[in-house]
Structure 1
Amino acid sequence: MIDLRSDTVTRPTPAMRAAMADAEVGDDVYAEDPTVRALEERVAELFGGRHVGLFTPTGVMANQIAVRMSVGPGEELVLDADAHIVAHEDGAAAWHGGVQTRTALSPRGLLEPADVARLLRRGDPYTVGTRAVAVEQTHNRGGGSVYPLEQLAAIRELTSAADVVLHCDGARIWHAHVATGTPLAAYGELFDTLSVCLSKGLGAPAGSVVLLPGDRMPEARRMRHRMGGAMRQAGILAAGGLYALDRHIDRLAEDHAHAALVADRLTEAGLDVAAPETNVVLVLLPEPRPEAAEVAARCRESGVLVSAFGPRLIRLVTHMDVDASACAKAAEVVAVSAV
């Protein structure tokens, strides 16, 4: 099967597996796993050293720890209406933290500074106050869209003036870095908290790192424990992340090229395709074409896996486990299946 449902489906390379098998480990609940600590320090250093890192088993947990460090029960988080935190985390902010969300519909999922200015509320005895703003870089439901640095800087200026925390769900921030050349440290300078994922484009089997101010780390570690995310000899997983950071960031440009190839082939076939900025390709299926679920089922029968991302929306995500020829074949199958 050619699997383009997500970049989470990648498998560790033999060399990554060897690095994981050889990892030095300790008890991370006691903060004594040397490989976990090396990963946390490495990620913090990549983003400029303003933060300290905390390894978590999942990106959802990393996001939720960051949100709950800034937004208390009954307080407000502002973000895009299609953000992963509200669309794909099973209401975790409300369920676990009693967090209220206030959202805006944004072009390609990228919050406009004018919308942020409009949505920020100081709060009073009769009004919920905004405690944090979250942005997603790159934006999943926006088709892997990338926030320009100047747009983020404008949002940062607004949140700083309002004494509001700015969080980045950076699950695919590596893609933004490669696509634009923006240094990771420039992103680190902008945000109060970040989460970054190791198991999407970078190809590690599991894990994310949440970046926070150093004085919040004891509270964050306790929050991770409450959520069930405190692991023991987690260095075996962290070693996969370290291996990926050393070897799999620059190669993301290949995934971007493959996404462009898929988009071009589907456009040539007459489909409505959003031009990809990174590794996510969105295909809109207008009437009278079959609905997305039927197209996805037809593709599966022909050996290609894609995501039905809405009633009439197909998503394809390129990654390190599919080469150019596989992507070209997948585009051919989708084009035929969408008729």
Structure 2
Amino acid sequence: MKPSIDLRSDTVTQPSTAMRQFMAQAEVGDAVIDIDPTTERLERLTAEMLGKEAAIFMPSGSMTNQIAIRLHCQPGDEFICEENCHVYNYEQAAFAQLSGVVAKTLPGIQGVLSADQFEGTIRPINDHLVRTRLVCLENTHNRGSGKVQPFDTVQQITSWAHENGLTTHLDGARLFNAAVATGISVDKWSAMFDSVSVCFSKGLGAPVGSALAGPAEFIQKAKRARKLFGGGMRQSGIIAAGALFALQNNVERLAEDHEKATKLADAIREIDGLSLDVDPIDTNIVIFSIAPELGTAAQWQQSLAQRGVAVLATAPQKIRLVTHLDVSTSQVEAAIEVIKETSPAMA
């Protein structure tokens, strides 16, 4: 039985009928040798929304993050990040493989760092040492249950970085979730960083793509690096149109996903043997721990799938649920009932 309620990730969303029609009608050109007009429209809108001079469309958020790191650093340089962030954990240490850069990790609380943790982290100028060049933050934080980085804290960290001659990059794969949850616009979040990556294929519901935004000269260099990494696309307007539609139609509705996640969290909080990793929930990600006597996360994942609910086991005793535009409120309510029924079944 294929699960009918898919809570594994917000990347599983399918383009809506309206989005498919918009994509089918997209004006296209060769974006490598010339200009693809739809891709150009997307890049202009993204830059405008983020308050940056320019933006560039790429196939994935991993590519936008890695190109940003490559451009901010040189081989033998070091960047500072939180130990559970996506750039460090889920991108195959591409910064080392592709760009000769190393990472210094700091332990966060639910993915959140404090400004005082950065004191003393910049290496002295010495022929024996790597050079500290960059600070990377992630907002919202995936492994932190979609935690929104506190705005004031981000401001303190990025100010410290700039005052000490470091550059800053934001992995904003779910930045629009942070903006909707806090009411603080994406351009205000973006203004604190030298470069920003945003993803269109998560909560925004586009099938493919991310963008990197920053100063025009930086983005021109990113275009060259994109070609090196194999990210040059020809008639990319077909997929850029999905992202363009998402920006124009699917941002404010992210609040609905946050409400659904809160509903899930409220139910899980009341089930004996289950505990929320982060409480309350900020956005659209719910991670809960399972008491050992109720079985393992892998067992729960299998049991829930057999009952029509797809979830993701992220650790031996942890399950992740992610709400998105393809999961209705009624489906969330149905998933809650299945989770309640599963709990005693695993005992």
Same fold (TM over 0.5): yes
Deviation at 1:117, TM superposition (A): 2.2
- Give the alignment's TM-score, normalised by structure 1: 0.97
**Per-residue displacement from partner, 1:112-137 (whole Å, max 9, x unpaired)?**
11112232334321221211010000
Deviates more, 1:277-286 or 1:124-133: 124-133
1:3 — aligned with what? 6
SS in 2 for 1:200: coil
**Per-residue displacement from partner, 1:114-168 (whole Å, max 9, x unpaired)?**
1122323343212212110100000000000001111111011110111111100
Deviation at 1:31, TM superposition (A): 4.2
1:19 aligns with 2:27: no
Runs of 4+ with deviation above 6 angstroms: none
Whether the 8 Å contact between 1:159 and 1:165 is mirrored in structure 2 is yes
Whether the 8 Å contact between 1:282 and 1:313 is mirrored in structure 2 is yes
Residue identity in the other structure for 1:170? G
Q: Which of the numbers 214, 217, 240 marks the counterpart of 2:216?
A: 214
SS in 2 for 1:44: helix
Whether the 8 Å contact between 1:293 and 1:308 is mirrored in structure 2 is yes
Structure 1 segment 1-339 matched on structure 2, within 5 A: 1-48=4-51, 50-270=52-272, 271-273=274-276, 274-275=278-279, 276-338=281-343, 339=346
CA distance in 2, matches of 1:158, 1:208: 28
- Number of paired residues? 338
- Give the alignment's TM-score, normalised by structure 2: 0.95
SS in 2 for 1:169: strand
Whether the 8 Å contact between 2:179 and 2:185 is mirrored in structure 1 is yes
Whether the 8 Å contact between 1:295 and 1:334 is mirrored in structure 2 is no
RMSD, aligned CA: 1.1
Instruction: Extract unaligned runs of 5+ from structure 1.
Output: none
Q: Identity across aligned pairs (percent)?
A: 41
SS in 2 for 1:217: helix
Deviation at 1:264, TM superposition (A): 0.7
**Per-residue displacement from partner, 1:165-212 (whole Å, max 9, x unpaired)?**
110000000000000000111112110011000000000000000012
Deviates more, 1:325-334 or 1:62-71: 325-334
Whether the 8 Å contact between 1:131 and 1:164 is mirrored in structure 2 is yes
SS in 1 for 2:119: helix
Whether the 8 Å contact between 2:14 and 2:207 is mirrored in structure 1 is yes
SS in 1 for 2:79: strand
SS in 2 for 1:196: strand
CA 1:258–1:81: 2 relative to 1, 3 Å:
same
CA distance in 2, matches of 1:20, 1:162: 45
**Per-residue displacement from partner, 1:270-294 (whole Å, max 9, x unpaired)?**
2201321000001011222211111
Whether the 8 Å contact between 1:123 and 1:130 is mirrored in structure 2 is no
Deviation at 1:51, TM superposition (A): 3.1
CA distance in 1, matches of 2:297, 2:285: 16
**Per-residue displacement from partner, 1:259-310 (whole Å, max 9, x unpaired)?**
0000111112222013210000010112222111111011111111000011
Deviates more, 1:310-319 or 1:114-123: 114-123
CA distance in 2, matches of 1:305, 1:38: 36
